Amino acid sequence: MNGYKFFLFGCLFTSLTWSLSLYMYWKLNTKPDNYSNVKLFRKENTYEYVKKQKSKYFKNHVDKNDLSDLGIIKTDDDLVIRDKGYKDHGFNALVSLRLGNYRETLPDTRHKLCSTIKYDQNLPAASIIICFYNEHPQALFRTIQSVIRRTPRKLLHEVILINDFSDSENLHKIVDQYIHDELLQGIVHLKKTDKREGLIRARLFGANLATGQVLIFLDSHVEVNIDWIQPLLTRVRDNRTQIIAPIIDIIQPDTFDYKSSPLVRGGFNWGLNFKWDSLPKGTLVTDKDFVKPIKTPTIAGGLFAVDRDYFNEIGQYDSGMNIWGGENLELSFRVWMCGGSLYIEPCSRVGHVFRQHRPYSAPDHEDTMARNSLRLANVWMDNYKVSYLCLHGCNLSNFYGGQTLFYADILYT
Ligand SMILES: [Mn+2]
């Protein structure tokens, strides 16, 4: 009789164990909805939310200051990855790959007073617009991750990724898969243009999809640093006609070392090339001077924040500009003439990989920098456009290859 009882208990116990195991297995395999569940974590930091949701998230990152062994070539494959990477991306793709999707430790390059500033919690939220073309996946993922983890959730309205018709269809799939794997569907929106548009029109495509009060444009190979967004949003909130750029710190393209940039401002020459100018003497005397916004004639263009309505009111970018170049000066001139101003915020730091070369050219090898600059000169420079033109000998036949007649019309009408 006792043996029978034990047998029954045994069966019961086994069934219970199995049910429990099945339940736990089912639980483990059920993913939380996705990021669209925003109401639940509005008050939390995005980073905290993700940490709770998914511990896997934290495996693929590097947390160290010494990057010197990341470039070591161990196999033939390493060599190919590095050399092809330089050609395709203009930086050491082997180091980028090994650095992974996120790096935890970036040096805090701000002046020491920056960390004592208490920013208002009540700031407008931003749509972050990141356009990419043939970007190295890990460089793009670090851009996204750094934004997700170093931006208070409340201030991050959305991230809009625009794939500007990259050559490889695979890249789009990889990025899409990444967004799903990391449960970012509710906050990161990936879109693709129907044809190669270039930086300017790809950004406009993103800006027209955005619904946040502030637009922040970022390059696709950056890492935002601690409290990067608060100073930008504070200034845009306080004066909606100000365009605010962070300090662009330097991520070295061979080693990915992160270095602080000095406080400088943007200028330009008569060739309509952007250049950095030192600040007027006497600007930086006391400690406090190092945290004051720097009034700047122009911005470098890769990274800046602007009130979305103001951006629309001044007519956005010149959508007739192709691929790359000149749009940053055009926007700067446009802002001056439409009553706005431009500033650089020393307490906002974003690291940018300064690539060894721009790894793409325009279709038909058009000199888009010259073309775009001609448009800018024609629209905003009145008689001063001759100063630009005369750098090329005041002779249109020296200018812009075979299309001089078309541009002669532009310049002299
Ligand atoms: Mn760049």
Contact in structure between 384 and 341 (CB atoms under 8 Å): no
Q: Which token pair is 57? A: 């998230």
Rounded (to 5) percent helix, strand, coil in the chain: 45, 20, 35
Beta-sheet strands, E only, within 42-187: 126-132, 156-163
Contact in structure between 342 and 298 (CB atoms under 8 Å): yes
What confidence score (pLDDT) does residue 18 get?
Answer: 81
Separation of 247 CA from ligand 1 center, angstroms?
Answer: 14
DSSP SS3 for 98: helix
What confidence score (pLDDT) does residue 30 get?
Answer: 44
Q: What angle do CA 111, 115, 144 make, to 5 degrees?
A: 95
pTM exceeds 0.85, yes or no: no
pLDDT along the chain (413 residues), means of 10: 73 78 60 34 42 42 67 90 93 93 93 96 96 96 97 96 95 96 96 96 97 98 97 98 98 96 95 94 95 96 96 94 92 95 98 91 83 88 81 58 47 46
DSSP summary character for residue 103: B
Nearest Cα to Cα of residue 182 among 47, 64, 40, 27: 47
Separation of 357 CA from ligand 1 center, angstroms?
Answer: 10
Separation of 355 CA from ligand 1 center, angstroms?
Answer: 7
Say what angle helices 404-411 and 368-380 make with each other, to 10 degrees: 20
Domain boundaries, the chain: 64-96, 114-353
CATH code of the domain made up of 114-353: 3.90.550.10
What confidence score (pLDDT) does residue 54 get?
Answer: 42
> Rounded distance, CA 326 to CA 376, Å?
7
DSSP string for residues in 177-221: HHHHHTT-TTTEEEEE-SS--HHHHHHHHHHHH--SSEEEEE-SS
What confidence score (pLDDT) does residue 304 get?
Answer: 98
What confidence score (pLDDT) does residue 378 get?
Answer: 86
DSSP SS3 for 271: coil
What confidence score (pLDDT) does residue 387 get?
Answer: 80
Separation of 93 CA from ligand 1 center, angstroms?
Answer: 15
Q: Which token pair is 186? A: 């509710």
Separation of 221 CA from ligand 1 center, angstroms?
Answer: 6
Separation of 356 CA from ligand 1 center, angstroms?
Answer: 10
Separation of 218 CA from ligand 1 center, angstroms?
Answer: 9
Separation of 342 CA from ligand 1 center, angstroms?
Answer: 20
Separation of 280 CA from ligand 1 center, angstroms?
Answer: 27
